[in-house]
Amino acid sequence: MRRILLGIILAALIGGLGAGWVAAKHHPAQEKVTIVGSTALQPLAEAVAARYRQGQPTTNITVQGGGSGTGLSQVQAGAVNIGSADIFASQQDGINAHKLRDHIVAVSGIAPIVNPKLGVKNLTMTQLRQIFTGQITNWRQVGGPDLPITVINRANGSGTRVAFEQTVLTKSDHAVQAQEQDSNGTVKEIVTNTPGAISYISFAYLNKTVQPLKINGVAPTASNVTTNRWPLWSYEHLYTQRQPSWATQQFIKYMQSGKVQNGLVKEANYVSIHEMKVTKSATGQVSERK
């Protein structure tokens, strides 16, 4: 009788272990991917992450802003899986680009914006430079109303600021002392509510609450970005450690896929990496894509 009871107990234990193994097989552990950095890339990264989770429910992806500088420093420190940035790692002080791996996932157009009621819709590149260096201080100097210009700049560490100043300012220029903000959303809100304000944001944040400006008569469109006819743009990078996790690699591969590039990337008002006809180096040099 005792042997029979021991046999029943042993069978139950083995059965329980087997059931547990089957359950574990059908419900694998969650894999976490954390992305921190660029607010310019944040809307797209969030949209792609939401779509990716539908097909990969075991991967938990968290997307946060904070700016390109924050993203690069966090991934270098190993605190996050991915540091998103609008700039090359080599452009950021304190970052050893050789220790990181670069994955370009989109191109972000950048547009100067003003309040829609201002009435100004076009500036020359020279006028734009003179506004952001403090040489032009009133809108009447560029054909607008008699209204002081309020410059809203991006904060240091912003990849969008680096790309903007690299294109608009010369090496000897110094940006005018101005209010600084670290996110596209905050900048847009300030310009929306300040009649004489001017700043710049990524295409993804454009809507009817602000007026994007043409430069030298050229409109800020994705098509113009692909040829550099619209020169204000930056790559969107996902930086990882040299040996990223499998889950991290799979997410980046998905983001670079034709399905995402031709779908969510365009829908979110970014430019597909597959459609670019030019390339840009970390120093801002543009050349024909081969």
Digit-coded pLDDT (tens) for 111-166:
999 999 999 999 999 999 999 999 999 999 999 999 999 999 998 878 889 899 99
| Reported confidence tier of residue 30, pLDDT bands at 50, 70, 90 | confident
Beta strand pairing status for 122-123 and 214-215? parallel
* Residue 238 or residue 24, greater confidence: 238
Residue 160: what pLDDT?
Answer: 87
Q: Tell me whether the CATH fold assigned to 31-108+232-288 matches the one assigned to 110-227.
A: yes
CA quadruple 13, 18, 22, 28: dihedral positive or negative? Answer: positive
Return the closest-CA partner of residue 105 out of 171, 149, 40. 40
Measured between alpha carbons, how far is 179 from 85 in angstroms, rounded to an integer? 22
pLDDT of residue 29: 60
* pLDDT attached to residue 6: 47
Residue 28: pLDDT band (50, 70, 90) is low
Q: pTM here?
A: 0.82
pLDDT over threshold 50, residue 27: no
Domain ranges of the chain: 31-108+232-288, 110-227
- Other C-beta atoms closer than 10 Å to the C-beta of 248 total 24
Tally the C-alpha atoms within 13 A of residue 33's C-alpha that lie toward its C-beta.
29
Average pLDDT over residues 185-206: 94
Give 59-112 pLDDT, tens digit per residue: 999 999 988 889 999 999 999 999 999 899 999 999 999 999 999 999 999 999
To the nearest whole percent, how much of the chain has pLDDT over 90?
77
Rounded to the nearest angstrom, the gap between the alpha carbon of residue 3 and the centroid of all alpha carbons in its chain is 67
What homologous superfamily does CATH list for 31-108+232-288?
A: Periplasmic binding protein-like II (3.40.190.10)
Topology (CATH) of 110-227? D-Maltodextrin-Binding Protein; domain 2 (3.40.190)
Average pLDDT estimate for 179-202: 93
pLDDT at 115: 95
> Nearest-5° angle of CA 66, CA 72, CA 77?
110
The torsion angles phi and psi of 34, rounded to 5 degrees, stand at -110, 130
Neighbours of 1 (CB within 10 A): 5
Q: How confident is the model at residue 184 (pLDDT cuts 50, 70, 90)?
A: confident
Instruction: Of 17-21, 36-40, 132-136, give the lowest mean pLDDT range.
Output: 17-21
**What mean pLDDT value characterizes the chain?**
90
Residue 16 has pLDDT above 80, yes or no: no
